[in-house]
Structure formats: structure tokens, C-alpha cells
């Protein structure tokens, strides 16, 4: 970086650079650390980035919290025996902002390598330049891929019990899935619905034992094993599902008013530059510092390739990524390739 650019960056000014089109320049803002995604991993990364006196921006197209916004009650986050997901999200966001991180409600379209730093482009045509990036984009709910699923989205098909459960008071609903999210969703839905029918592709649930116990203690919940939802139908709203017994291969139409899908997440990797290594499921592979093969590009949270996905894992990832992003920036500064801007002047 040249001396003038360093000076402008230190003052936090808007910089311009050639866009490659004759006579046109693009304005962009500069920061030290840009965090893509504001779930638990991103908010933790933002907290520790700002705490290290880096000028830190945390971005998300949705409200801060990520999947926390979809969890009714959390009872396994250390130090908080019972906390609503949205409440924990708000506390995490407030904590990060209290140290000087800034939240930007933008949708990042692409992270581009612009050595020694990066260019962040948003779908709103904004542009940022930074010295290090932590991508915490997590995943999106997997779809069943059956007829009627897209047609009835928002009219009985949902991927969030905490968002839509209250609309099904006194009704019968179906839950597709066998893991923790499905179990948590079923237990929450039982507080509203008259009947909750859980459909598991496997002969047993994979949810934590304590969640399975709560389901077993809830008379409104019935679990159907080796059963696959093959079609969703109705009129203006969902009225029935077609379910296949995977043993007998027989189909049965079951009346329901809602279908809640909890069959996993697809990693959101579209923002990455080319050449990022992923595992067989598409999750990003990193070294022990949460850094990808691209120096200065880190990942944290559910997008990261590891065997356990949990809020505490996400927070740990965010911490590690932020600490080593700071080390990366210090190394660039020592080589006169980047000048740390630091927090905004109060």
C-alpha cells in the first residue's frame, strides 16, 4: 500500500481505485477485518477483532444471530442454563458492538483476492477493502425436494418452528428429520399443535438422548421410523402429505396442516474466491488457525469442516479465526504491506 492510501485508510476515508474501465473509479470503504455472516461465529469473531483494536465490520443480510433466531430455548450454552435463541443473539451482538465492531446489514456477493488484502462486493453494489476476512456464512436448510414443497412454502411448509409454530395452534403438523434440530422443533411445536408427527428416514433418531427423552415424555409427539415424506399437497394451504414406509414401500396419505423440515444444512460457499478446498459434503477445509489455503482468508462456524456443529464450536472457531487474523495483519504490517487502521475515532 502506498503512503497516501495508508494515510486515507488510517483516517477511515472513502478510497477510490480504478475499476478496469476507462475513466471510471469505484468508491470503497477500508477496514482491517471484514466478517461475513453474523451468527455466533461471526459475532464472536467481530468481538475479538474489535477487542484487538482492529477496525472490524460484521455483515449479514439478516438480523444478527443467524440460526439462533430460529431456536426457541437453549439449555446447553455454558453459563446460561436457559436462554431464548433470539435473546442470546441480541446479547452477542451487543457485546461485539460494545468493543467497537460495526454491523452492516448487507448481502455479500463475493470475496475477491486483492493482494495483500481483499475486496468485498455486496449485492447492493457496495464495496469494501480489508486486510483479512473471516467467512461465517454457515448453511441454509436443506430441502426435501418433493412435489409441493416449494409451492406451499409460507403456506404450511416451514424451516423454522420458532418462526411459524404459533400459527399452528390446535392443528396437526409434520416434522421431517431425526437430529437435534428436528427434536427441538418437535418439542417446541408441541406447545402449540394438538399433534406432532415426526418422520425419520432412519430406524432410530440421532438427536441427543436428552432431547429424545423430552420427546418421549410429550404425549402429543409421535415418531414414525423408516418413513419418508414424498409429496406435500392441499388447496390454498397444506392439507396432507404422502409418506412412504421404506420397509414395505407402501405409501399413505396423512392429513396435516403444516410441514417443518429439519434435514440438515447446505454450506453457503458462493462468496469464496476459486481454489478453496472443501470436503466431500462441501464444507471448507482449514488449518488449525481456521485459515484457508488463501493467506488472510479464514472461516468459522458451521461452514467449517469438522465433526461437531454447535453454538460453542462456532464461538470457538470465531475466536481462533479472529486471533490469527490479527496475527496475519500484524505480519503484513511488519512487511509494510498493510497499515492497521484501528478503531474509529470517538
Burial 116-152 (b: 16+ CB within 10 A, else e): bbbbbbbeeebbbbbbbbbbbbbbebeebebebbeeb
Residue 69 CB neighbours (<10 A):
19
DSSP states along 287-330? -TTSB-SSTTEEE-GGGB--S---HHHHHHHHHHHHHHHHHHHH
Q: Which residue has the cell 430441502?
A: 143
Query: Pairing between strand 139-141 and 265-267?
Result: antiparallel
Residue from 114, 163, 194, 251 carrying the catalytic annotation: 163
Please provide the size of the chain in residues.
346
Q: What's the first-to-final CA gap in the chain, in angstroms?
A: 25
Taking Cα atoms as reference points, which of 252, 299, 303, 296 lies closest to residue 281? 303
Residue from 8, 87, 160, 208 carrying the catalytic annotation: 160
DSSP states along 152-178? TBTTTEES-HHHHGGGGTTSEEEEE--
d(CA 344, CA 321): 22
Residue 79: Cβ-neighbour burial (10 angstroms; 0-12, 13-18, 19+): exposed
Distances (CA, A) of 266 to 3, 137, 219, 305: 43, 11, 32, 12
Residue from 60, 164, 302, 317 carrying the catalytic annotation: 164
Active site residue 163: yes
Cell, residue 325:
487474523
Active site residue 130: no
d(CA 265, CA 229): 18
What are the catalytic residues? 160, 163-164
Amino acid at each position: 500500500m502506498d503512503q497516501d492510501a495508508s494515510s486515507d485508510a488510517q483516517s477511515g476515508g472513502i478510497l477510490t481505485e480504478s475499476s478496469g474501465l476507462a475513466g471510471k473509479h469505484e468508491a470503497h470503504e477500508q477496514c482491517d477485518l471484514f466478517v461475513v455472516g453474523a451468527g455466533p461465529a461471526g459475532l464472536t469473531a467481530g468481538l475479538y477483532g474489535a477487542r484487538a483494536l482492529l477496525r472490524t465490520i460484521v455483515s449479514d443480510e439478516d438480523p444478527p444471530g443467524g440460526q439462533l433466531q430460529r431456536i426457541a430455548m437453549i439449555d446447553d450454552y455454558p453459563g446460561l442454563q436457559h436462554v431464548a435463541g433470539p435473546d442470546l443473539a441480541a446479547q452477542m451482538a451487543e457485546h461485539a458492538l460494545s468493543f467497537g465492531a460495526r454491523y452492516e446489514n448487507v448481502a455479500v456477493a463475493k470475496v475477491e483476492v486483492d493482494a495483500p488484502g481483499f475486496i468485498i462486493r455486496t449485492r447492493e453494489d457496495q464495496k469494501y477493502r480489508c486486510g483479512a476476512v473471516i467467512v461465517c456464512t454457515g448453511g441454509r436448510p436443506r430441502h426435501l425436494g418433493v412435489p409441493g414443497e416449494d409451492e406451499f412454502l409460507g403456506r404450511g411448509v416451514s424451516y423454522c418452528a420458532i418462526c411459524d409454530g404459533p400459527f399452528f395452534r390446535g392443528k396437526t403438523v409434520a416434522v421431517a428429520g431425526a437430529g437435534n434440530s428436528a427434536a427441538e422443533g418437535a418439542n417446541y411445536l408441541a406447545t402449540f399443535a394438538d399433534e406432532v408427527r415426526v418422520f425419520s428416514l432412519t430406524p432410530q433418531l440421532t438427536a441427543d438422548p436428552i432431547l429424545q427423552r423430552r420427546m418421549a415424555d410429550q404425549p402429543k409427539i409421535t415418531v414414525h421410523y423408516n418413513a419418508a415424506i414424498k409429496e406435500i399437497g392441499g388447496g390454498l394451504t397444506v392439507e396432507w402429505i404422502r409418506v412412504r414406509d421404506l420397509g414395505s414401500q407402501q405409501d399413505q396419505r396423512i392429513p396435516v396442516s403444516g410441514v417443518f423440515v429439519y434435514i440438515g444444512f447446505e454450506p453457503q460457499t458462493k462468496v469464496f474466491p476459486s481454489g478453496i478446498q472443501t470436503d466431500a459434503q462441501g464444507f471448507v477445509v482449514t488449518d488449525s488457525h481456521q485459515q484457508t489455503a488463501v493467506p488472510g482468508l479464514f472461516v468459522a462456524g458451521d461452514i467449517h469442516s469438522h465433526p461437531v456443529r454447535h453454538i460453542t464450536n462456532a464461538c470457538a472457531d470465531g475466536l481462533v479465526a479472529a486471533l490469527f487474523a490479527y496475527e496475519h495483519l500484524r505480519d503484513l504490517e511488519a512487511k509494510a504491506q498493510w497499515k492497521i487502521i484501528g478503531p474509529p475515532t470517538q
